[in-house]
Structure 1
Amino acid sequence: MNFSYEEAYLDIEEPCSAQVNPKVQHVLQVYVYSIICILGFIGNTLVIITYAFYKRTKSMTDVYLLNVAIADILFVVALPLIIFSEQNGWALGTWSCKLLRGIYSINLYSGILLLACISLDRYMAIVQARRSFRLRSRTLIYSYLICAVVWFMGFILSLPTFVYYQRYKHNGLGVDISFYSSSDVTDNTTEEHEQLQTPSALLPGFEEEQYVCFFLFKDNTTAQHMKVLVPSSQMALGFFLPLLIMGFCYSQVVFTLLHAKNFQRHKAVRVVLTVVLVFIACHLPYNMALLYDTITMFSLKECSDDTTTRLVLALTESLAYLHCCLNPLLYAFVGVNFRNHFRKIVEDAWCLGKRYIGARRSSRATSDGYLSSRRSVEGAPSENATSFTM
């Protein structure tokens, strides 16, 4: 009697595919993420240029804003590199997987924690103005130390990414590749395992194996613990703690401004409320979806529910990424002085462009005159006196 693998597995129900819809993923990566990266790169580059050439870091807020811009620009540079590597099977190997994902994680944590530091500084400057004036004016070095601590915390919180992220071959089962133990995936260095664990060749409908970059653990116990620890730390320290700090500080700031006798107080209150509301609107949906996924990860769910959860996570994550484009507008360009510096950058860039065009034309005219003189005076030495100048 002949035995067929296909007939044996016809009655087996395939596992749920936890992958995001390819069309949705394509739209997010090609269009949405591209817009976010371009706008985020331009806005944060202008902030860095302003601090480098036009405005000195004279206060703690300036130091925090500069570091936020650095974190955001590193984030928008790492994101397209990650997408490119995903589409090409992480061809550069495990080191690129760890490095890119690690940089991505560090800047994600650091950027949000620095926003909390800005709210604390605004609280000290407005609510505790008398007590903190000398401290904030004479100890600018403290802001650099605080930023160093924030970056170090971002690195510590990203250690699981550096340690456990690996480039490995997806086993083709169509299930969620997140937090596999090493017994569940095929190692790209072991040919025997690759031959044994190839269900896509046996079962119809299974996806072909592909290289991925994600968490990989040696045992299931570690996988289960980290599967809860990583998203929990991301939600607690990457959203809820900064939200509590910002909520307390900015509520006190608004209360103080409303009791101040200043004709610009209402504008300042609107700015503060805009900062808080935009932060909540960008990050709350993703963290709520992540919280739901973390709570229900060990319970049985319908395939449709799991697919919906993955789709919601992908969409809300792109909304959270959008915040890096809005940071320059909310924290930097909303100030009059910063807008003046930005206008100066545009004017200087325009003048530089006109000088460059004029110099090219002048250089071309001089070159033509030089050639004609060479034709008229054969063998006579000549020197191009007009050089390219700015």
Structure 2
Amino acid sequence: MTTETMQADDYFYEFFDAVSNSTDISYVQKGDVLLCEKTEVNQFGARVLPTFYCINFILSLIGNGLVLCIIYKYEKLSTVTNIFLLNLVISDLLFAFSLPFWAVYHHSEWIFGSALCKLVGSLYSIGFNSSVLFLTLMTFDRYLAVVHAITATRSRKTMYAFASSAVIWFISILASVKDMVLFDVQPGNQSMMLCEMTGYHHNIMKKWQLIGHYQQFLLFFTVPLAMVLYCYIRISIRIMSTRMREKCRAVKLIFIIVLIFCVCWTPYNVVILLQAIEMSNGDQKQCSDTLDYALYMSRNFAYLYCCISPVFYTFLGKKFQTHFLKLLAKRIPCLNITIVTPTQSSKTTSFRTPNTVTEH
């Protein structure tokens, strides 16, 4: 849904303030009001977004549920890798559980009340933000394990994993405080209820939207992207300097990981940046539908990446692939799955984190 944008007479507010400072003028409007007709955009969103949200929700539920099942049956939370992986799954599930509510909302209107509006908006923001931060943290941990293997052996303890995870959750929750406070239900066109940031004068809301846009682009895209690129470049250099037999395959996996990350996250964040620039410049052509359509489509790629990232990173490792085959063999014996157990020597160099690229 897209809230109608309104432009009021600033002189009226200054005059009204001078007459009476005791009166709340936040909801008083006078003068010419510019209404952005978003009928076609809203109809497009009502047709497309619910389907995408439901697909992402189902994929996330199945994929993350599978990862949780494998961790519970075959792994322990005594390793840094599995602690990070569990936190990533939790963050993605928090985000995914908000999608059915948004699907219903975009299909018709918000029917779940004010309390759920705040709760769902907060879970969406916390899950979305923490997901990319945990992916970045796991990449950095892989960098430590490969490039600084000797020193990392002493520092990569469970306490380091729990402390790092706590910092990620704190940053994600802190960045989502504005959504907890500002999200609420308000009436829209044709008495349809909206769940959006509301409750203050539109100039204040515009500032909060700008803060949200720049926060998303800088903190949750630019910094993670820079760290991912740096870490994987250093990992690739390190791998190519070794005598590892499958180093070419490892570098190809790195290229695929970085490419998918960029393809899924870059378009969405570029659109966010363009919207922020447009709002900052006070562009009178904000009624253009181009960025709205671009946001709808690019956002779905970012959502999809959030929902499937634990599965994608997990099954790059041969150990988790073996666990998955064991699970299938138990549940579906008729498949006659042959499971090759890795040798003792390969176990020490096989999958150690979801971002591993040093498999033998």
The TM tier, using the shorter chain, reads 0.7 to 0.9
Corresponding residue for residue 282 of structure 2: 299
Q: How far off its partner does 1:273 sit?
A: 1.6
Per-residue CA deviation, residues 125-165 of structure 1 (Å, 9 max, x unaligned), is: 000011111222xx212201211221121111000000011
TM-score (norm 1): 0.73
Q: Is the 8 A contact 1:45 1:73 kept in 2?
A: no
Q: Which 10-residue stretch deviates more, 103-112 or 28-37? A: 28-37
Q: Aligned in 2, Cα 1:291/1:278: closer, same or farther, shift over 3 Å? A: same
Corresponding residue for residue 22 of structure 2: none
- The one-letter code of the counterpart of 1:68 is L
| Distance in 2 between residues matched to 1:79 and 1:149, nearest whole Å | 25
Equivalence map 1:67-78=2 (5 Å): 67-78=87-98
1:271 aligns with 2:253: yes
Q: How far off its partner does 1:20 sit?
A: 5.7
- The one-letter code of the counterpart of 1:42 is I
| Distance in 2 between residues matched to 1:222 and 1:82, nearest whole Å | 25
| Distance in 2 between residues matched to 1:113 and 1:125, nearest whole Å | 18
1:129 aligns with 2:149: yes
Corresponding residue for residue 363 of structure 1: none
| Distance in 1 between residues matched to 2:272 and 2:331, nearest whole Å | 44
1:143 aligns with 2:161: yes
1:311 aligns with 2:319: no
Q: How far off its partner does 1:288 sit?
A: 0.4
Per-residue CA deviation, residues 331-380 of structure 1 (Å, 9 max, x unaligned), is: 1011100001111122222359xxxxxxxxxxxxxxxxxxxxxxxxxxxx
Corresponding residue for residue 290 of structure 1: 272
Q: Is the 8 A contact 1:120 1:246 kept in 2?
A: yes
Q: Aligned in 2, Cα 1:20/1:261: closer, same or farther, shift over 3 Å? A: farther
Moved over 6 A (4+): none
Q: Aligned in 2, Cα 1:331/1:20: closer, same or farther, shift over 3 Å? A: farther
Per-residue CA deviation, residues 209-230 of structure 1 (Å, 9 max, x unaligned), is: 3110111142344223212111
Alignment equivalent of 2:104, drawn from 84, 88, 103: 84
1:119 aligns with 2:144: no
Corresponding residue for residue 3 of structure 1: none
Alignment equivalent of 2:75, drawn from 30, 36, 55: 55
| Distance in 2 between residues matched to 1:26 and 1:86, nearest whole Å | 5
Q: Is the 8 A contact 1:127 1:252 kept in 2?
A: yes
Look up the SS of the partner of 2:112 in the other structure.
coil
Q: Is the 8 A contact 2:96 2:307 kept in 1?
A: no
Q: How far off its partner does 1:327 sit?
A: 1.1
TM-score (norm 2): 0.78
| Distance in 1 between residues matched to 2:71 and 2:216, nearest whole Å | 30
Aligned residue pairs: how many? 302
Q: Is the 8 A contact 1:48 1:70 kept in 2?
A: no
Q: Is the 8 A contact 1:20 1:314 kept in 2?
A: no
- The one-letter code of the counterpart of 2:159 is I
Per-residue CA deviation, residues 265-318 of structure 1 (Å, 9 max, x unaligned), is: 112211222111111100100110110111012433447x72111111111101
Q: Aligned in 2, Cα 1:224/1:32: closer, same or farther, shift over 3 Å? A: closer
Alignment equivalent of 1:242, drawn from 217, 224, 229: 224
1:96 aligns with 2:116: yes
Q: Is the 8 A contact 2:139 2:231 kept in 1?
A: yes
Corresponding residue for residue 160 of structure 1: 178
Q: Which 10-residue stretch deviates more, 41-50 or 216-225? A: 216-225
Q: Aligned in 2, Cα 1:88/1:23: closer, same or farther, shift over 3 Å? A: closer
| Distance in 1 between residues matched to 2:234 and 2:151, nearest whole Å | 15
1:213 aligns with 2:170: no
Alignment equivalent of 2:309, drawn from 324, 327, 331: 327
Corresponding residue for residue 21 of structure 1: 41
Structure 2 residues without counterparts, runs of 5 or longer: 1-31, 335-360
| Distance in 1 between residues matched to 2:268 and 2:205, nearest whole Å | 23
Look up the SS of the partner of 1:226 in the other structure.
helix
State the superposition RMSD in angstroms: 2.2
Corresponding residue for residue 369 of structure 1: none
Q: Is the 8 A contact 1:82 1:101 kept in 2?
A: no
Q: Is the 8 A contact 2:130 2:172 kept in 1?
A: yes
Q: Which 10-residue stretch deviates more, 100-109 or 57-66? A: 57-66
Corresponding residue for residue 23 of structure 2: none
Pair member with larger Rg? 1
Alignment equivalent of 2:238, drawn from 244, 247, 256: 256
Per-residue CA deviation, residues 59-92 of structure 1 (Å, 9 max, x unaligned), is: 3222112211121122222111232245464333
Q: Is the 8 A contact 2:67 2:310 kept in 1?
A: yes
Look up the SS of the partner of 2:288 in the other structure.
helix
Structure 1 residues without counterparts, runs of 5 or longer: 1-11, 173-207, 353-390
Q: Which 10-residue stretch deviates more, 216-225 or 110-119? A: 216-225
Alignment equivalent of 2:61, drawn from 7, 23, 41: 41
